[in-house]
Chain A
Amino acid sequence: MSRAALLVLADGRFPAGGHAHSGGAEAAVRAGRITGAASLEDFCRGRLTTSGLVAASLAAAAALGVDPGELDAAADARTPAPALRAAARKLGRQLLRAARATWPCGELDALAARFPTGAHQPVALGVVARAAGLDARDAAHCAAYESVSGPASATVRLLSLDPFDATGVLARLAPDLDHVAGQAVRAARTAAHEGADALPACSAPLLEIGAELHAARPVRLFAS
C-alpha cells in the first residue's frame, strides 16, 4: 500500500462531490440536535458507529474483492431511506468519475459500465481504493473518516461554528474511528468467505428520517 495514495483519496478536496453533502448535519441542525461542538461530537459519534460502520465494512469488503453487485444490494438493504440511497448512488458515480481520471484502470471502467446510475458510494470507494493500490483497512478508514468529516465541515458553514472546535471534534473521535475501521475490516474478511450478510447492519433511524425531511425542503444549503 501507498501511504501517500491514502492521503490523496482521503483528502476532503478530492473532487468527488462530497462538499455539497452534509451527511445529515443540516437536517440535525434544523431540528436542533446539533447546536455546537459538543452536540456535533455526539452526532458524529452516533453516525460513525452506525452508518459509518456499515459504510466502512462495505468499503473494506469491496477492497478485498467481494463482488460489487452483492455489496451494492447489501448497501440498499441497509439504507431504508430512498433519499439516502439516491444520494449514495449519486456520490458513488461522482467518486468513480474522479477516480477513473485519477487512477485509470479496467476495474473502474467495468464498475462504471455495470452501474450506469452509480453504485453506492462506499462500494465504489472500496473498488477505488484497490485501484489506488490501497488495502481494505485503508478503505475502511476512508469511509469511516468521511462519515464524520462531512458533517463537521458542513456544521462550520451551517452554524458558523469555530473551525478549530470542529477539527477538535474529529481529533477526539480518532480512537473511535480506528476502532470502527478495525471492526469493519474483520467483518469484511468474514463476508469474503460467508457473503455480504455477514456485514454489520446498524442503522440510525433519525438519520434516515432526517434525510427524507431534508429532501422535501425547498430551501437548503446541502444536497443531503
Chain B
Amino acid sequence: MHLDHAHPGPAAVGADARCPDGTRRALRIGLGGPVGSGKTATVAALCRALRTELSLAVVTNDIYTREDAEFLLRQAVLPPERITAVETGACPHTAIRDDISANLEAVEELEDTVGPLDLILVESGGDNLTATFSKGLVDAQIFVIDVAGGDDIPRKGGPGVTTADLLVVNKTDLAPYVGADLARMAFDARAQRGELPVVFQSLRGEPGAAEVADWVRRRAAAWTA
C-alpha cells in the first residue's frame, strides 16, 4: 500500500503473499473469541515467548477504546511502534471479516514502518461465537474460549469453534471453581473439529502459552519454507 519508501511498484490490494517488491510479507495470524476469554493475555504471552526469535507486531481491534493496545503497551511486551489499534465502529466482526480494509492498512503500515516482519498477530475485539477472520486478512486463525464461559461452548460449536486452525481453551486453572468438565470440553471439541488441534492452557503458571507458541512457530516456519 505504501509507495513512499520501500516499495517501488503499485501496492498490494489484498491477501497477496508477496509485497510489491517481490519479498514475502509477514505471516498474519488472527486471534478471535468471546469477550474476556483471554485473547489479549494470550497475545501478550505469545509476544514474550516469540519476540527474541521472530520480528513481530500486533494489531488490536478494540471495540470502543484503545484498552487492549494500551494493556500490551503497559506490559511492554513489544516496543510501542510495533503495536497498532484499529477502530471498529461498534462492529468488531465487520472489521475482521466483512470489511477488512482498515486492518489491511494497519498490517501494511506496520510492515512499512517497522518491517521487515516475520509475524503479525491480529487480535479481534471480543465478539460472539460466529466471528471469524477473513482469509483476505489472515493466513491462520486461533479461536480463544475459556472454561468460565461455560463448558458447553465446544458442544455448541459455531464457525469460530468449528473452523479455527487452532482452538484454545483458556483459564483451565478455573475449571474446579466453575464446575467445568475439561474432559467433556475436549471430547466435544474433537467431535466438532475432527483433526483440527485444540490446546488447553492456563496463563497463571508454567508452561503458560508455550504450546500455542510452538504452534505459531511451526506456522511461521511453514510460511517461510
Which of these binds chain B: A15-23, A134-142, A161-169, A203-211? Answer: A15-23
B10 in complex: contacting residue of A15, A112, A157, CB < 8 Å: A112
Residues in A whose Cβ lies below 8 Å from that of B100:
15
Contact A97-B89, Cβ < 8 Å, known A19-B99, A109-B10, A221-B64: no
Chain A residue nearest to B99 in the complex (CB): A15
Within 8 A of B (CB), among A129-184: 154, 157-158
B101 in complex: contacting residue of A22, A98, A218, A221, CB < 8 Å: A98
Decide if A16 touches B89 in the complex (CB within 8 Å): no
Decide if A15 touches B98 in the complex (CB within 8 Å): yes
Tell me, yes or no, whether A192 is within 8 Å of chain B by CB. Answer: no
Give Cα distance in the complex from A211 to B169, angstroms.
41
Decide if A20 touches B89 in the complex (CB within 8 Å): yes
Within 8 A of A (CB), among B53-80: 63-66
The total of chain B residues at the interface (CB under 8 A) is 27
Tell me, yes or no, whether B219 is within 8 Å of chain A by CB. Answer: no
Give Cα distance in the complex from A13 to B94, angstroms.
10
Tell me, yes or no, whether B196 is within 8 Å of chain A by CB. Answer: no
Q: Interface centre among B13, B87, B100, by most A CB within 10 Å?
A: B13
Interface string of B73-104 (1 = CB under 8 A from A): 00000000000001111110011001111101
Tell me, yes or no, whether A94 is within 8 Å of chain B by CB. Answer: yes
Chain B residue nearest to A13 in the complex (CB): B98
Tell me, yes or no, whether A90 is within 8 Å of chain B by CB. Answer: yes
Decide if B105 touches A19 in the complex (CB within 8 Å): no
Residues in A whose Cβ lies below 8 Å from that of B94:
19-20
Give Cα distance in the complex from A16 to B101, angstroms.
6
Within 8 A of B (CB), among A37-73: none
Residues in A whose Cβ lies below 8 Å from that of B10:
100, 109, 112-113
Tell me, yes or no, whether B116 is within 8 Å of chain A by CB. Answer: no
Give Cα distance in the complex from A221 to B94, angstroms.
13
Chain B residue nearest to A98 in the complex (CB): B101
Chain B residue nearest to A117 in the complex (CB): B4
Decide if B95 touches A218 in the complex (CB within 8 Å): no
Chain A residue nearest to B64 in the complex (CB): A221
Contact A20-B95, Cβ < 8 Å, known A218-B65, A221-B90, A222-B87: yes
Decide if A19 touches B91 in the complex (CB within 8 Å): yes
With A22-B89, A223-B87 given, can you name 9 additional A-B contacts, CB distance below 8 Å?
A19-B94, A93-B105, A100-B13, A112-B1, A116-B2, A219-B65, A222-B87, A222-B89, A223-B102
Q: Which 8 A-B pairs have the closest CB atoms?
A: A20-B89, A94-B101, A15-B99, A223-B87, A109-B10, A116-B3, A101-B13, A221-B90
B contact residues vs A (CB 8 Å cutoff): 1-4, 10-11, 13-14, 63-66, 86-91, 94-95, 98-102, 104-105
A contact residues vs B (CB 8 Å cutoff): 13, 15-22, 90, 93-95, 97-98, 100-101, 109, 112-113, 116-117, 154, 157-158, 218-223
